Chains A and B, each alone.
Chain A
């Protein structure tokens, strides 16, 4: 649906060059909710703005819906943009126009028949739950309501892709949640591919299927949200995961690891789903000749599924412990020995 091939974006300002995107490859499938996370200045906005060529890449290829956007004429590009909706951190609504006109704007640009515009706009206002605000002006709405109007406007041309640049960053947690729920509904009901840019891992955890971590213009890690949460490969990805999964090993556990006796070994077990965690441990305690000791545990939800993180100590003979590990590995969990200084 969206493919980036070796996309590089260099800004030139007052003689200095800033490489905002560095050789980025990215592939987003149809119907996916894809998140891109990174620190401020990582190049996130540059990346999403290259998807609809608000910013032209310095080099590389951007393919959306099987169209190589950089090869299109201005007219063809405008046509292509109607298939790519976009919402913004600061909503970017027209303050001088009513909610109705704001939502209708993309349709008015192509001289859509009046009746059709009216029908479509009310349909969308119903969808975002703001039909009664049709004649209000944006400055009479709350931030969350403005974003709903932004979403309705973005959907008016029935796009197959929706781009969200920090769409919830200006909103409080509760409103953020309701906007994320709305995005989820859009994805399900209309099968729209959604690309989300954020610096909040909570947003990724809440609705994304896949995630890419951007740092200094490079994609340093990408994969399914489960994989990245379970086994972040980079320090930065790990730090982002930690912001929502309190999986830092407490100091006391660190000390334990340091004074580790040869008869005990400490493991981190990452599990998904309700049945995978605790039952597994009690089963191990019964089946094997080892003592199971949970040192630390945390649990969070990934798209409605519990996602847990346990640090356990197995005490017993080394041979028996390795049998336990083999057994665990056969289950749908990941297990990793925790050494000191590995967190």
Chain B
């Protein structure tokens, strides 16, 4: 059986761009959301119970919807934004909605791990709330943030494969159309292998980066 390597390469590029764009947008949404989930808590910088409760609930709602359902549910919204509901660009919309709140939670966790003593020192030296976040909280949490983002990225690789099922393109699409519908096991095995290597590579890179930043 002949393997069409060009097709696989294109699918790989599609997966990478889906994951990369989704990660970028999801982080743009998730980072401020995660920070707000921390600083609006009781006893924190900008304690604000209504804001915290609303954000917390919204994140929980999104986190509880399985991706496959989310994808279908947001089709009208996707159309509104990208103009179509199929294709790589269209897949990015549900991926961002799926990953953004997830990243918010991961960031929230990392920031909560920061030693409260460091914040205390920051307050004692007269740092503004903004400075406390930018110069103290985020740098101290960076190593753990990177690990969190690694997990989120791997989650997106999985989601991108599912997005393939509704015509998003990418490796997942390829695996399903060839492997499942045409019984071409070779192509399926190749795509799965590529996904495995990708996930391994991401995790290793994340670990190395995080370790380098932690300096231990």
Contact = CB atoms under 8 A, between A and B. Distances in A.
A, B from the same assembly:
yes
Interface of A: 52, 54, 77-82, 84, 86, 88, 90-97, 105-106, 108-109, 137, 139, 153, 157, 163
B28 interface: no
Given A92-B115, A95-B140, A96-B139, A81 B124 contact: yes
B128 interface: yes
B140 A94 contact: yes
B135 A92 contact: no
B120 to A, nearest CB: 6
A137 B135 contact: no
A109 B127 contact: yes
B142 interface: yes
A79 B215 contact: no
A54 B127 CA distance: 12
Q: Is the interface of B mostly helix, strand, loop or mixed?
A: helix
Most buried by B among A80, A88, A96, A106: A96
B84 interface: no
A94 B123 contact: no
A81 B135 contact: no
Contacts of B126: 77-82, 106, 109
Interface string B198-216: 0000000000000001111
Given A81-B126, A86-B124, 11 more contacts: A80-B126, A82-B125, A86-B121, A88-B120, A88-B121, A92-B118, A96-B140, A96-B142, A96-B214, A105-B135, A163-B124
Interface residues of B, number: 22
Contact of A94 (B128, B136, B213): B136
Given A92-B117, A96-B143, A105 B125 contact: yes
Nearest to B119: A92
B49 to A, nearest CB: 15
A160 B123 CA distance: 18
B131 interface: yes
B215 A54 contact: no
Given A94-B118, A94-B140, A96-B140, A139 B125 contact: no
Interface string B109-123: 000000101101101
Contacts of A91: 117
Contacts of B124: 52, 54, 81, 84, 86, 163
Most buried by A among B126, B143, B213, B214: B126
Contacts of B115: 90, 92
Given A81-B124, A88-B117, A96 B135 contact: no
B113 to A, nearest CB: 12
Given A96-B140, A105-B135, A157 B216 contact: no
A137 B140 CA distance: 13
Most buried by B among A78, A88, A94: A94
28 contacts: A54-B120, A54-B123, A77-B126, A78-B127, A79-B126, A81-B124, A86-B124, A90-B117, A92-B118, A92-B120, A92-B121, A93-B118, A94-B118, A94-B136, A94-B140, A96-B139, A96-B140, A96-B143, A96-B213, A96-B214, A96-B215, A97-B139, A105-B125, A106-B125, A106-B126, A109-B126, A109-B135, A153-B125
B107 to A, nearest CB: 16
Nearest to A84: B124
Contacts of A109: 125-128, 131, 135
Ranked nearest first, the 6 interchain pairs of A and B with the lowest CB-CB distance are A81-B126, A92-B117, A78-B126, A92-B121, A86-B124, A106-B125
Contact of B125 (A81, A96, A97, A137): A81
Contacts of A106: 125-126
A52 B121 CA distance: 11
Nearest to B139: A96
Contacts of A92: 115, 117-118, 120-121
Contacts of A79: 126
Interface in B53-91: none
A108 B214 CA distance: 22
A163 B121 CA distance: 12
Contacts of A137: 215
Nearest to A107: B125
Most buried by B among A80, A81, A95, A163: A95
Contact of B215 (A84, A93, A139, A157): A139
A73 to B, nearest CB: 13
Nearest to B127: A109
